[in-house]
Amino acid sequence: MEENTPIVIDNGAFKIKAGFAGDDAPRSIFRTIVLPEYKYSTQPQNFIGDSTLNKMNQNILVSPMIENGEILDWDQMQAIWNHIFSYELRVDPTQRPICISQQPFASQKQKQKIAEIFFEVFKIPAISIPIGSVLSIMGTGRTTALAVEIGHDLSYCYATYEGYHPRKSLIQLPITGSIIDQLLTVHLQRNGFYANSFADQEIIREIKESHCYISQNFTQELRNPKQHNFKTSNNQQFSLISELFVSTESFFNPNLVNLSGLSFQQLINKAIMKCGMDARKDLFSNIVLIGGSSMFPGLADRLRSEIAPLAPPKATVQVSASPERKLLEWIGGSIFASLSLFSSQILTRQQFEENPNHNF
């Protein structure tokens, strides 16, 4: 690997993914968590990322560092980036361009602040801040698709048509991974389980990721639910019935959980219909699920069956759910930062010094 190979960062609200352009997968994946002790420790790496999970006071609740795509704590975010360079990748960033993805709703102010920190603190030579879903579609090898990104704190759909990204197709979706956590918590409270601490939150998350699924016939399954008995990693036993698919039904019926607004299938159809007529047929047949909160079994099949009646008669609805969809944003960034095109899409140090308020 050359000393100036770009570093690629998927700056997720739940997990950070970092590595080098041209690699097939990130070198490092860790939780977006920083404990206050990092400021005072001679070993700050022990208070950042996954290493915090065993050190954390299990009776506290953890506040998010990123919410709705916006960074809330810049000191902690800077500590995360330093951790990537110093302890995860073990590289000198001063010789390496940075490709760091952001959500499409991120403000210009936030992007400018990111650039400022990387140039002034880490002394990097250049930076690119592309949209995450655009990278994800690149990661699939497609030039036309509707990305349906379901993240921990933000979900949205955004079209790419022959490499062009029609902004009017960008629509925020109402359900995220953290909302599923909240809904599942409410259902478990009825069984006497209360999530009053970080440790409890982790149990909720484990149940969601390991056992929740999408029902293909919600009404029928609700009438005749099956009991699921399982044990969590900390040996707590649960016997759950409809809880495992009622929370995820909110994707298709938000009113069921007292959320107003349109369903995923209605908003996805709306996003495609906002695009030109020549693009719609191809977009309906290239709907791509992206993000860690899109991993529920049955999601692609159910979305396909719900969108099909809404689509134009001649449209064929296809929903792709790659096994790598949790990593597609980083993979796309790795591909993008390896292309000759990348050098024309970066902001250099000289350009930043001439215009710190550059519009990304």
The DSSP secondary structure of 208-246, one letter per residue, reads HHHH----SSHHHHHHSPPPEEEE-TT--EEEESTHHHH
Tens digit of each residue's pLDDT (9 = 90 or more) over 309-340: 999 999 999 999 999 999 999 999 999 999 99
Answer yes or no: is pLDDT of 59 > 60.
no
Alpha helices, H only, the chain: 74-83, 108-120, 132-140, 177-189, 198-211, 218-223, 243-246, 264-273, 277-284, 299-307, 328-336, 349-354
pLDDT the model gives residue 183: 93
The pLDDT assigned to 291 comes to 96
Mean predicted confidence (pLDDT) in 64-75: 92
DSSP sequence for 73-122: -HHHHHHHHHHIIIIIS---GGGS-EEEEB-TT--HHHHHHHHHHHHHTS
**CATH 3.30.420.40 intervals, the chain:** 7-130+345-354, 135-174+262-320
- Interstrand relation of 145-150 and 155-160 (parallel, antiparallel or unpaired): antiparallel
* The pLDDT of residue 39: 77
How many residues would you count in the chain? 360
335-355 residue pLDDT tens: 999 999 999 999 999 999 999
Instruction: Using the predicted structure, report yes or no on whether residue 45 has a pLDDT greater than 90.
Output: no
- Average pLDDT (59-87) is 89
Segment 112-125 mean pLDDT: 98
147: nearest Cα among 305, 7, 1, 275: 275
Average pLDDT value for residue range 106-128: 97
Residue 37 has pLDDT above 80, yes or no: no
Top-confidence residue, 64 or 11: 11
Distance from C-alpha of 34 to C-alpha of 99, rounded to nearest angstrom: 22
Q: Is the pLDDT of residue 52 over 80?
A: no
Q: Express as a percent the part of the chain with pLDDT over 70.
A: 97
Q: How confident is the model at residue 230 (pLDDT cuts 50, 70, 90)?
A: confident
Structure tokens at 37: 């002790």
Q: What is the pLDDT of residues 148-203, one digit of tens each?
A: 999 999 999 999 999 899 999 999 999 999 999 999 999 888 878 877 778 888 89
CATH top class, domain 135-174+262-320: alpha beta
Higher pLDDT, 47 or 249: 249
Residue 60 in this model has a pLDDT that exceeds 70: no
**Bigger pLDDT: 255 vs 272:** 272
Q: Which fold has domain 7-130+345-354?
A: Nucleotidyltransferase; domain 5 (3.30.420)
pTM, entire model: 0.93
The pLDDT value recorded for residue 102 is: 96
CATH topology of domain 177-251: Actin; Chain A, domain 4 (3.90.640)
Mean pLDDT for the chain overall: 92
Of 241-245, 302-306, 344-348, the poorest mean pLDDT is in 241-245
Q: Which residue has the higher pLDDT, 22 or 261?
A: 22
Q: What is the pLDDT of residue 257?
A: 77
Q: Specify the pLDDT at position 234.
A: 78
The pLDDT value given to residue 197? 78
Task: Please determine, for residue 2, whether its predicted confidence score (pLDDT) is greater than 80.
Answer: no
Contact 97, 126 (CB under 8 A): yes
Tell me what pLDDT residue 8 has. 99
Predicted local distance difference test score (pLDDT) of residue 104: 94
pLDDT value at position 56?
59
